[in-house]
Structure 1
């Protein structure tokens, strides 16, 4: 179980798969989705004294603190590096919702 989960999912989704992962008095902080969310079951929140909160991104100082924390603890994003000509294919995957990582465009693949 976790004391804190930072939810960075940028699209409408359910919190139901995450709230049971929180420890008693744990908090799930939404920083990715701005807008409607899927309906969620309240029992895991109420019975576990869990919280859902939201936060905007911090400034440069806070961002650097997060990067330092991640570096210290070996936390890194899951990324797939693609060439510029693969952008449309990447968008197709995003539209289909079958992506569990971020796409990163290799800028060296751009023709000048």
Structure 2
């Protein structure tokens, strides 16, 4: 976290969203001299989520996904267990009708 603190403007806030578990130690001098803050939220809020989505749309930032058919779900699960996943799996729900 320490390399990010100098990027904050004076009176800036670093918001940690979804961090669960221990965090590395950091030097508090950067917090004190820059009047910076650290805040946390398990999920963020609706307003913040909308701002993030608007920013991504404006900058054309898209998620990396691998579309799979329902028939490939077992293969996808096996790949997850082997850490052979580069992107998030998204199930094509149109394939659900073909799988049943």
With structure 2 as the length reference, what TM-score do the two structures score? Answer: 0.61
2:17 alignment counterpart: 30
Deviations 1:43-83 (A, max 9, x none): xx217837764212322x44333211111112221111111
Structure with greater proportional helix content: 2
Bigger Rg, which one:
2
For the residues of structure 2 that align with 1:105 and 1:21, how far apart are their CA atoms? 37
Structure with greater proportional strand content: 1
Q: Which runs of 5+ in 1 are unaligned?
A: 1-18
2:27 alignment counterpart: 46
State the SS of the aligned residue for 1:71: helix
Aligned-residue RMSD, C-alpha: 3.0
Q: Are residue 89 (structure 1) and residue 71 (structure 2) matched? A: no
How many corresponding residue pairs? 87
- Which structure has more relative contact order (CA 8 Å, sep 6+)? It is 2
Compare 94-103 and 64-73 and name the one that shifted more: 94-103
Say whether the 8 Å CA contact 1:22–1:28 is kept in structure 2. Answer: no
CA change 1:92–1:40 in 2 (3 A) is same
Q: Which runs of 5+ in 2 are unaligned?
A: 9-13, 32-36
With structure 1 as the length reference, what TM-score do the two structures score? Answer: 0.56
For the residues of structure 2 that align with 1:48 and 1:92, how far apart are their CA atoms? 47
